[in-house]
Amino acid sequence: MQPKPILKGGTRILRPSEYEQLHEGAKTLDNRTLLDTLLLTGLRFTEARLFQRHLDWFDSRGFVHLPINATRKVKRRQRERWVKLSNKGTTVVPYFFKVRPLPTWKSWTEDLERWAGRAELDPTGLSPKSTRKSFESWLISTFPERTLEICLSMGHTQTTSLQHYVNMPFNSADKEGMKEYVHGWER
């Protein structure tokens, strides 16, 4: 029996094992690269679509630089942002520029639901926000002492992060599974 989905504001937060199921359901290298990049950068979907057209925003030392006005989020707190990447993120991002462009929000949502169906994963709450919220939750669960740094990288306030990403029902197997994805973020 699968564990109950973790939902925050109606959006699914994936456990590492659920992410791996979804990844398997994505099947093609293009789809998996897009999915991995959205997870490992923690970028908002609209930011990732814009980033895909700006290789110059990628710093191979482990960062994505979102310049002023790179995001159209109305309530944003930071004018520009440096998004810190894990080792795996730094490895995956260069391939993001070689695959097909990210589709529309609606098409991506449909893709996620289709891939979940293939992988026999409950699609409840899956949306383009799921990868971002999952990764921030994994980072805070793994590095609670770095919450402020995580918030700044993700473009959130500490209040937002504390309200949404702390105290997730992750067990020891979940936390062990996160290590592969977050390793190197702490450097």
Asked if residue 3 belongs to a domain, the reply is no
Asked if residue 90 belongs to a domain, the reply is yes
Asked if residue 155 belongs to a domain, the reply is yes
Query: Taking residues 35-53, what's their average pLDDT?
Result: 97
pLDDT in tens, 85-97: 999 999 999 999 9
Q: How many domains does the chain have?
A: 1
Asked if residue 100 belongs to a domain, the reply is yes
Query: Taking residues 52-76, what's their average pLDDT?
Result: 83
What are the CA-CA distances from residue 103 to residues 34, 48, 70, 106 (Å)?
10, 11, 18, 8
- For residue 125, the domain's CATH number is 1.10.443
Q: Are 40 and 133 in contact (CB under 8 A)?
A: no
* Contacts (Cβ under 8 Å, ≥6 apart) of 162: 147
Phi, psi angles (nearest 5°) of residue 83 = -95, 120
- The answer, yes or no, to whether residue 2 has pLDDT greater than 90, is no
Name the 3-class secondary structure at 101: coil
Asked if residue 109 belongs to a domain, the reply is yes
Cα 130 to Cα 148: distance, rounded to the nearest angstrom: 21
- The answer, yes or no, to whether residue 183 has pLDDT greater than 60, is yes
Asked if residue 98 belongs to a domain, the reply is yes
Q: What is the DSSP letter of 2?
A: P
Asked if residue 168 belongs to a domain, the reply is yes
Band of the pLDDT at 62, cuts 50, 70, 90?
A: very high
Band of the pLDDT at 41, cuts 50, 70, 90?
A: very high
Chain length of the chain: 187
- The answer, yes or no, to whether residue 73 has pLDDT greater than 60, is no
Q: What is the pLDDT of residue 164?
A: 61
Query: Taking residues 48-65, what's their average pLDDT?
Result: 97
Cα 136 to Cα 151: distance, rounded to the nearest angstrom: 8
Asked if residue 144 belongs to a domain, the reply is yes
The whole model's pTM is what? Answer: 0.93
pLDDT in tens, 129-157: 999 999 999 999 999 999 999 999 998 76
Q: Are 42 and 132 in contact (CB under 8 A)?
A: yes
Structural domain for 159, as ranges: 8-182
